Amino acid sequence: MKQLKLFIFLLLFSLIHLNAIDYTDNNETKTFINMMYEKFNYKQEYLYKLFKQVREDPTVPHKTTKRIVKPLSEEYRPQGSWDIFSRVHLENNQTELGVEFMAEHNQTLEKAYKEYGVPPEYITAIIGIESHYGKNRGTYYVFDSLTHLAFDEHKRKKFYQYQLQEFLRMCFREQVEPRRIKGSKSGAIGLAQFMPSNYKSLAVDFNNDGKIRISQPIDAIGSVANYFKENGWKKDEPVGVRVSYEGDRFYGLKTGFKHKYERRYLPNIYPRETFEYKKKVMLIKLEKEKYDELWYGADNFYVITRYNHSDYYAMAVHQLATKIKASYHKKYKTKPVNALYASTE
């Protein structure tokens, strides 16, 4: 029996080695380890142990379960770039789950609004788009994935070496085991999918328990609000409004968050609803199959693009937040509202 147990142990040990890569033979890894020692006083012995057993495949194993595959709808769906993008980010029960998330965490969201000035629906929309309200926090082991990106042939390897550095520093500060943390392939972590380099400066301990855990709703909510505030979010200012223009396709002026205009110099472009905003605006173009949808973007729209540098991403956040807010009001209209929407009333 002892021989059988020893055989099983040796077999399992050998399988671990077969599925691991020793990065300590890599000169860049050695340089990285020395830097971590000299700059941050990390123990070299510990880092060599970490990098000696890097998972060859950083994907988190998942149990195979039978799934009922719904047949594809025969109904034609528009194929414009915004049509496709919005389906991916605004459908799949995003609004309904967002309302549930707001109801469950309304006190924390209200606290975040009072402290940072960011409305609950925008915090909720970010968490919805980034992690589907915590249901999809990432399917990769972050340490292993970042190691591959940092030391294999990747065009952004310097960027990922910095992310790996900040990831290990975060693990030390928070006293968590690096090899256990799961996230995205690029190293984004938690409900809010923060990159490691944003963790120290922007993530917050919102429940005051002495730890920062953006894998938990309370700290994730506070961290998203702080991220927006630090990037210039203005309390009670709008994000954007859809506008009318002549024709079906918009040409002639540069669009996107990098370009701003005085409204008086935008002839024949009019907001479709009241828009009390006196600052310069951006023109945000959403390319649909049969026409271009055009929006004014305010400074707070630009703030959302700091989370992801994409007009479409920021617009998806804005539209999802608007849908969540409307659905929340509709569902809970007979219940008292704890000033939850004070920012937009």
Q: What is the DSSP string of 141-194?
A: EHHHHHHHHHHSS-TTHHHHHHHHHHHHHHHHHHT--GGG-EE-TT--BTTTTB
Whether the per-residue pLDDT at 9 is higher than 80: the answer is no
Give mean pLDDT, residues 42-53. Answer: 96
pLDDT at 273: 94
- Give the bridge partners for 182, in sequence order: 141
Distance CA 60, CA 301 (A): 35
Beta carbons of 316 and 129 less than 8 angstroms apart: yes
Can you give the pLDDT at residue 78? 82
Domain boundaries, the chain: 23-53+139-187, 240-313
Per the prediction, the chain carries an average pLDDT of 89
Q: What pLDDT score was predicted for residue 63?
A: 60
Q: Of residues 57 and 69, which shows the higher confidence score?
A: 57
Above 70 in pLDDT, residue 3?
no
Residue 335: is its pLDDT beyond 80? no
For 100-140, how does the pLDDT look when each residue is reduced to its tens digit (9 = 90+)?
999 999 999 999 999 999 999 999 999 999 999 999 988 99
- Considering only CA atoms, which of 111, 117, 195 is closest in space to residue 149? 195
pLDDT at 12 over 70: no
CA-to-CA dists, residue 3 to 6, 9, 11, 14, 40, angstroms: 5, 10, 12, 16, 45
What is the C-alpha separation between 81 and 102, in angstroms, rounded? 30
Residue that the structure tokens 């026409």 belong to: 291
CA dist 243 and 273 (Å) reads 8
Distance CA 308, CA 287 (A): 19
Concatenate the DSSP letters of all residues of 285-334 into one string: EEE-SSSEEEEEE-HHHHHHHTTSS-HHHHHHHHHHHHHHHHHHHHHTTT
pLDDT at 219: 98
CATH classification number, 240-313, choose in 3.40.720.10, 3.30.420.40, 1.20.140.10, 1.10.530.10: 1.10.530.10
Beta bridge partners of 284: 295
Q: Are β-strands 54-55 and 182-183 bridged in parallel, bridged antiparallel, or unpaired?
A: unpaired
Q: What band does 71 get if pLDDT is binned at 50, 70 and 90?
A: low
Q: Examine the residue annotation and report whether 130 is marked as an active-site residue of this protein.
A: yes
Give residue 75's pLDDT: 74
**Nearest of 56, 50, 58 to residue 19 by alpha carbon:** 56
Among 57-61, 194-198, 233-237, 282-286, the least confident range: 57-61
* Annotated catalytic residue, options 74, 96, 115, 130: 130
Helix (H, G, I), strand (E, B) or coil at 277: coil
Sign of CA dihedral 188, 193, 195, 199: negative
Quickly state the pLDDT bin for 31 (edges 50, 70, 90). Answer: very high
Rg of the chain in Å (alpha carbons): 24
- Block residue for tokens 């860049």: 28
Residue 51: pLDDT over 80: yes
Confidence at residue 73, expressed as pLDDT on a 0 to 100 scale: 56
What tens digit of pLDDT does each residue of 231-255 get? 999 999 999 999 999 999 999 899 9
Terminal-residue alpha carbon distance, the chain? 73
Among candidate residues 149, 132, 227, 223, the one with its CA nearest the CA of residue 186: 149
Please determine, for residue 224, whether its predicted confidence score (pLDDT) is greater than 60: yes
For domain 23-53+139-187, give its CATH number from 1.10.287.130, 2.102.10.10, 1.10.8.350, 3.40.50.2300: 1.10.8.350
Q: Given this model, what pLDDT does residue 11 score?
A: 38
pLDDT-derived band of residue 156, with 50, 70 and 90 as boundaries?
A: very high
Q: What's residue 340's pLDDT?
A: 42
pLDDT, mean of residues 64-89: 72
Confidence class for position 342, pLDDT limits 50, 70, 90: very low
Looking at residue 43, the DSSP 8-state letter turns out to be: -
Q: What is the pLDDT of residue 50?
A: 96
CA distances from 263 to 68, 127, 242, 266, 280 (A): 51, 32, 14, 5, 7
User: Is 302:228 a contact under the CB 8 Å cutoff?
Assistant: no
Position 5 scores a pLDDT of 44
pLDDT in tens, 275-332: 999 999 999 999 999 999 999 999 999 999 999 999 999 999 999 999 999 999 999 8
| pLDDT attached to residue 61 | 85
- Which range among 11-25, 42-56, 105-119, 293-307 shows the weakest confidence by mean pLDDT? 11-25
The whole-angstrom separation of Cα 24 and Cα 47 is 9
Tokens of 244: 């009318």
